[in-house]
Amino acid sequence: MHSTTKLCKEGAEMRAWKSILAAATLALFLASPLLADTRKVNIDVIVALDKSLSMESKVGAVKSWVNSFIIDQLIIPGDFFIVIAFYGKADIIISQVIKNDADRKAAKAIISQVQGNGKFTDIGNALDAVKAQLAEKEKDGRQKYVLLLTDGIQEAPPSSKYFSKNGTFNHEFLANTKTIMQKGWKVMILGIGIDTAAKDLAKELQGSYSEVSNKLTPEEINQKAGTLFGMPIVEGPMSLGAINSDGSGRVTFTLKPSGLSGDMRITVSDASAQAGSRSLPGLLSAPVTIEVKKDGTTPVTIPLRFPPDLQPGSAYGTLTFGFSTPDRFAPSQFPVTLHVMGWAQSNGLVLGPALLLLLLVAAFIVILILRLTRGKPLHFVVLIEDEPVQEEPISLRAGRELFLTDTASVFSLATRRNARSVARFTVKDGKLPLLILKQDRFPKLKESPPDALGKTFVLRAESGKNLSLKVHASEKAHPKEKAKPKERKK
């Protein structure tokens, strides 16, 4: 892990840390609900084992633990098992499906040959090796459990793309961790005392982080690190709703428990998004606590607050969550489509009723204008042989029409024309024009009169008999049912 110079100064401290970390990881597996005697679903187990010089005196205990507990007690037939021994390089020493006892024995023999003799620690390179090994297993539907045995101090060799002079995580490393967050791997870092590097690594990997005191006890290990293989998994798609013009939005998803021995409380303390080249941090107004039950699924809705200056439209990006508790869900980063609504879309509930009211007002104005332009209605009666065609006086407004109809010498007024209509009444400029539809029925008229009010006409019935047709003005009458027309004598 460290150079020879650093080992002279820190070797004893780091060897003690690694020894305790190995023991802590042992307790994680012993406390796990995924032990072989209780699990039936196959998983993918990846162990990235630090074999740097600082592990030289303690690697024997770590190898014994891997063989005795991971292979003998955790792995069941059908599990895919990967072991990466890393330092300045990353060596894939095991990558296979454990089918039977013979495979277990062969894997244990390989692990027994590992020695703590490597210089440097290139965690980024180790993660690359893990991703490459799992690339062909992305669609197998299994949960991936990654156990990273390191203190988190990134000290890559100068030839590595992850190299940095001060041991910080460079751009290449941070880009690498984003992929891991999207994969939904379970990663845990356990630190002894105050170890900033280990904590930073856990944050970058969105992995669980716990600290244990220098006076380590099995009880403390169980308390701090008993949930390595217990994690809620996001089931199905994560749905980011439309973002309103004021920046308000929400994301919904469902959590499914995986390997939980009890209920879990997760606190989401941060949410950020990346839309194209623009970073959108601080999307949470306040932390959100999620109570995950060990049985069944948990629906989750998290309110978000985006900057109000986002332009309307859609953009592809990512949404990332941060946590203030060791427990978290996976994956913690998702590809999303950010759909920003304009003001009109955001205020549809208000605009709808307002638009309806506006339409009603407009319709009222149109009706009022039509009434004003059409003028007052004319009131009149139609008499045939001095008998009214209908009992009540007729009220007719401009734009309307009535048809005088002869059915077997029975006359009536109708609003629609038919084959028996002989004439039409309309209103124009305060007058009552009479349009002749059948000329033979008005033998004394050569053309339609422009105003029939106060006039008498000769009307020939269907029987051939000539009758008198009179049209008289009348006062406005109260509306009543129309009386049945009377049959005229031939």
- pLDDT per residue, tens digit, the chain (490 aa), is 444 333 343 343 334 334 334 333 333 443 344 555 456 778 888 888 888 877 776 677 777 878 887 888 788 999 999 999 988 899 999 999 999 999 999 999 999 999 888 888 888 888 888 888 877 777 777 777 777 776 556 788 888 888 877 766 655 555 655 565 556 566 665 443 445 455 666 666 655 555 544 444 434 444 554 455 567 888 888 889 889 888 899 999 999 887 677 888 999 989 999 888 889 999 999 999 999 988 889 999 999 999 988 888 888 888 988 887 767 787 778 888 889 887 665 555 555 677 778 888 888 887 776 665 556 888 999 999 999 998 889 999 888 899 999 998 899 999 999 999 999 999 988 899 999 999 999 999 989 999 999 999 999 999 999 999 999 988 754 343 344 444 444 4
The domain tally of the chain equals: 4
Whether 483 is in a domain gets the answer: no
Question: Rounded to two decimals, what is the model's pTM?
Answer: 0.50
> Does residue 212 sit in the same domain as residue 337?
no
**Cβ-based neighbour number of residue 315 at 10 Å:** 16
* Cβ–Cβ < 8 Å for 473, 400: no
- Mark out the alpha helices in 80-143 (DSSP H runs): 101-112, 123-134
Range of the domain at 363: 347-372
Sheet holding 434-436, edge to edge: 410-414, 401-407, 421-426, 434-436
| Spatial separation of the C-alpha atoms in residues 423 and 448, rounded to whole Å | 9
- Report how far Cα 156 is from the mean position of its chain's Cα atoms: 40
Whether 488 is in a domain gets the answer: no
> Does residue 32 sit in the same domain as residue 83?
yes
- Mark out the alpha helices in 68-169 (DSSP H runs): 101-112, 123-134
Instruction: Identify any residues that bridge with 95 across adjacent strands, giving them in sequence order.
Output: 82
CATH code at position 14: 3.40.50.410
The total number of residues shown for the chain amounts to 490
> Does residue 330 sit in the same domain as residue 254?
yes
> Does residue 367 sit in the same domain as residue 392?
no
> Does residue 341 sit in the same domain as residue 351?
no
| Spatial separation of the C-alpha atoms in residues 235 and 226, rounded to whole Å | 23
> Does residue 406 sit in the same domain as residue 281?
no
CATH code at position 295: 2.60.40.10
> Does residue 95 sit in the same domain as residue 196?
yes
* Nearest partner of 118 among 84, 82, 67, 94, judged by Cα: 84
Instruction: Identify any residues that bridge with 146 across adjacent strands, giving them in sequence order.
Output: 46, 187
**Cβ-based neighbour number of residue 402 at 10 Å:** 22
